A and B are shown apart, each in its own frame.
Chain A
């Protein structure tokens, strides 16, 4: 019995050592990519995953970070705040220290608290609600602008260029949509333009005929919509169908090809505020070629910010010479980084020091051109 035990112990020790050496060889730095890969806004998740994976691939091809390779772990939060909390806990349990995500503001907010508490570094390439970086957190960054930059851009454009007689502002009652609608409201009011209508529709609503009739009767000639593309697509289509031909404008959450698939010809002329088109920057020509070689579209608004997020993490790990996420976060705050979205530096709250939104005109064939 005794001898048997000793043998067992030897074998166990041997197995354990084998296991350890196996681990040492395959050691990677894991980066979680948290965002929607299912659900109505999964298109945006694709942009995020595509950009981040490309960065991981290219960094690994150049020898990785400090001799280790990066490993992307995709986790789906479906843009549901509840699921985002579960995803964050999953990331904690897997002992992953770096996160690119989440995508929707509504799901980023609850998840960010968990990351802050657990010392996990989070960079969102897409969540634009200002509140996310107003929580005094040290571990939360974003490589995209905020709605209090995007809203005013849209608001100033409406007040200065469109000069509507009767403006309506509609939103989807979500953190992102309503937040940005309020920013637009504030900006146009400051410019002396008072919206005749400020109302919320429901996420997932399909029938907007009553609202459209009301706007038509009130003589609304321009509509700002804060929210995502599924609702705006139907709103546009039903507006044109009813003969309500006011101009429409929306934030970057409506700017993807599905708006044209849903609204068809009604999406022609829609105005959208988007991050500047980084893929047209000559400095990114090689990167764009790499995306095109994989048959991927680099023009989506979150592709380059997601790429930049991964790159910043990699550079900061190199710069700080540690994988300790708290020290890496500190390094990010104190330095600037050359990325596909330009040279970036962060404010103390984790927001970018500078970020520019540009107004684009959307076309029925799902392309966009800078608006005049």
Chain B
């Protein structure tokens, strides 16, 4: 290896932030559901996969109709994917989790694993088990640095991913902190029984949580579809695992934690790949998780879990 290069370092930060944004968007779904009902929704990775499929179909459909403005494609695709994926999120909660609301904690967990397997096979049967690929909608980017040496490349797509991610996260943060429903969400997260006693329809809030998580997963799915251009029914598993790790790393139950966790994980993978061997990127990512959990068992931004009496 030929020494340290500042420009390469910058490029690796760009690479890591892009990857981290995607992780963060998916991680929020895990963390929100956990924050409110204390359950890990293992089907969330599959919800993201469905978002990616719907996004790919919408983009293909739009190009058939001759729509070629990037802004129009992006907005319409996001809208369609959020709508469809959100309703999947809602349905899954309604059918697989709500009937089990008051059962022991393990039961909904098993139900979630079941839903995950179901959705994977459902898409596999409906869409075929093969890779579906798509040529990039948005190409090109900016190059910085010496013309004859290493040039930093920032693609329009990477900027788009960052902008869309930040926009949706800002929107979510505003929604949670300012709106009536957001306040209800926070109340449920603090004490569901008490919130219920005070007249908050907790079932509705929980359903909303699932829809919001699914919507963000849909955004991640659309962005991944546009950026990598390859989806298959199995992408949800790895993405789900990584996003879940990001959520735990940041402190499960904490929304800013999920965002931070995603970015930290993305950067860790990028740097491990860059300065060690690519083989070690998952080793480094998970070693980091273990280290953080050893020092701060509740994650980077998690609050200590006070046993409720």
Same complex origin of A and B: yes
A214 to B238, CA, bound (A): 24
Could you give, for residues 242-261 of chain A, a 1 whenever the CB lies within 8 Å of some chain B CB and a 0 otherwise?
A: 11000000000000001001
- B281 near A: Cβ within 8 Å? yes
Q: How far is the CA of A206 from the CA of B228 in the complex (A)?
A: 7
B15/A210 in contact, CB under 8 A: yes
A213 adjacent to B274 (CB under 8 Å): yes
Q: Please name all residues of chain B whose beta carbon is closer than 8 Å to the beta carbon of A207 when the two chains form the complex.
A: 15, 18-19, 228
Q: What are 23 of the A-B contact pairs (CB < 8 Å)?
A: A38-B124, A39-B130, A40-B131, A206-B235, A207-B18, A210-B270, A210-B281, A211-B278, A213-B274, A214-B8, A214-B274, A217-B2, A217-B5, A217-B11, A233-B133, A233-B230, A234-B228, A241-B136, A241-B139, A241-B153, A242-B153, A258-B131, A258-B133
Most buried by A among B129, B278, B279: B278
Report chain A residues within 8 Å CB of B15: 207, 209-210, 213
Taking the nearest CB of chain A, how far is it from the CB of B284, in angstroms?
Answer: 11
Is B18 within 8 A of A209, CB to CB?
A: yes
Q: Give Cα A209 to B279, complex, Å.
A: 14
Per-residue contact bits, chain B 204-226, to A (CB 8 Å; 1 contact, 0 not): 00000000000000000000100
Contact with A along B131-159 (1 / 0, CB 8 A): 10101100101010000001101010000
Q: Which of B1, B141, B229, B274 contacts A262 (CB 8 A)?
A: B229
B232 to chain A, nearest CB (A): 6
B35 to chain A: closest CB distance in Å? 28
Interface of A is mostly: helix
Whether A218 lies near B2 (C-beta < 8 A) is: yes
CB neighbours of B18 from chain A (8 A): 207, 209
**Would B230 and A42 count as touching, CB distance under 8 A?**
no
Query: In the docked arrangement, what's the CA distance between A39 and B281, Å?
Result: 25
A200 neighbours in B (Cβ, 8 Å): 277-279
**Contact in complex: A210, B16 (CB < 8 Å):** yes
Q: Which residues of B contact A233 (CB under 8 A)?
A: 133, 230
Instruction: Evaluate contact between A209 and B19: CB separation under 8 angstroms.
Output: yes
The count of chain B contact residues (Cβ–Cβ below 8 Å) is: 43
Least CB distance, A80 to chain B, in whole angstroms: 11
Q: Which residues of A contact B228 (CB under 8 A)?
A: 206-207, 234
**Residue B85, interface by CB 8 Å:** no
Q: List the B side residues contacting A43 at CB < 8 Å.
A: 130
Over the window 73-108 of chain A, the binary record of Cβ atoms lying under 8 Å from chain B Cβ atoms (1 yes, 0 no) is 000001000000000000000000000000000000
Q: Check: A333 CB closer than 8 A to any chain B CB.
A: no
Residue of B nearest to A201 (CB): B278
Asked whether any CB of chain B lies closer than 8 Å to the CB of A202, the reply is yes
The answer to whether A199 and B277 touch across the interface, beta carbons within 8 angstroms, is yes
CB nearest to B158 among chain A residues:
A209
- How far apart sit A40 and B18, CA to CA, in the bound complex (Å)? 25
Q: Are B230 and A206 in contact (CB under 8 A)?
A: yes
A318 within 8 A of B: no
A67 contacts the other chain (CB 8 A): no
**Which chain A residues border B230 with CB–CB below 8 Å?**
206, 230, 233-234, 262
Q: For B143, what are the chain A residues with a Cβ–Cβ distance below 8 Å?
A: 243
Mark contacts of A20-52 with chain B using CB atoms, 8 A cut-off: 1 yes-contact digit, 0 otherwise. 000000000000000000111011000000000
Report the separation of the CA atoms of residues A213 and B278 in the bound assembly, to the nearest whole angstrom. 12
Query: A38-B129, A42-B129, A258-B133 are known contacts; what are 18 more A-B pairs with Cβ within 8 Å?
Result: A40-B232, A42-B130, A199-B277, A199-B278, A202-B282, A207-B228, A209-B270, A210-B274, A210-B278, A210-B281, A216-B8, A218-B2, A219-B2, A234-B228, A234-B230, A237-B136, A241-B139, A262-B230
Bound complex: CA A78 to CA B269 (Å): 29
Task: Please name all residues of chain B whose beta carbon is closer than 8 Å to the beta carbon of A258 when the two chains form the complex.
Answer: 131, 133
B245 CB-CB contact with A under 8 Å: no
**Binary contact readout A216-227 vs B (1 if CB under 8 angstroms, 0 otherwise):** 111100000000
Residues of A within 8 A of B282 (CB): 202
Instruction: Produce 1/0 per residue, B276-294, CB < 8 A to A.
Output: 0111011000000000000
B165 within 8 A of A: no
A245 to chain B, nearest CB (A): 12
Would you call B273 an interface residue if the criterion is a C-beta within 8 Å of the partner chain's C-beta atoms? yes
Closest to A264 in B: B135
B-facing mask of A279-307, CB < 8 A → 1, else 0?
A: 00000000000000000000000000000
